[in-house]
Amino acid sequence: MYGNTSGLIMGEAKRRKNLGIPPREKTEDIKLPKLDKKSIQKKVRSTLYKYPIIPFLFYGVAILILIGGLFYVFKSFNNIA
C-alpha cells in the first residue's frame, strides 16, 4: 500500500514544474531598524537618575518572587511526604 510513495512526496519546486506554474518569487529580507545604543543608554540613565528608587523596587520584587517560589516548593514537598 505504501510501497510507491516516492511519487507522492516531492518538493514545492518539482510540484510547480510538473503543474507548469512558474517558480515562486523570492521575498525580500526584513530590514530591522538600527538601534542607537548611545541614545538608549542615555534614556535609561536619565530615567534612573530621575527615579532612583527603581533599582530597589526591582530587586525587592525579585527577592519576593524567589522567596515565594521557595515557599511553594517546600510546601509542595511537605504535601507529598
12-62 pLDDT, tens digit per residue, is: 888 888 888 888 888 777 888 888 999 999 999 999 999 999 999 999 999
Residue 1 falls inside a structural domain: no
CA distances from 35 to 6, 27, 30, 39 (A): 48, 24, 15, 9
Q: How many domains does the chain have?
A: 1
Residue 15 falls inside a structural domain: no
The pLDDT, as a whole number, for residue 5 is: 53
The pLDDT, as a whole number, for residue 47 is: 94
Please give the full DSSP string across 50-62, using - where no structure is assigned: H-TTHHHHHHHHH
Residue 72 falls inside a structural domain: yes
- Please report, as a single letter, which amino acid is at residue 69: G
* CA 28 distance to own-chain centroid: 22
Cell of 60: 525587592
The pLDDT, as a whole number, for residue 1 is: 44
Is the whole model's pTM more than 0.75, yes or no? no
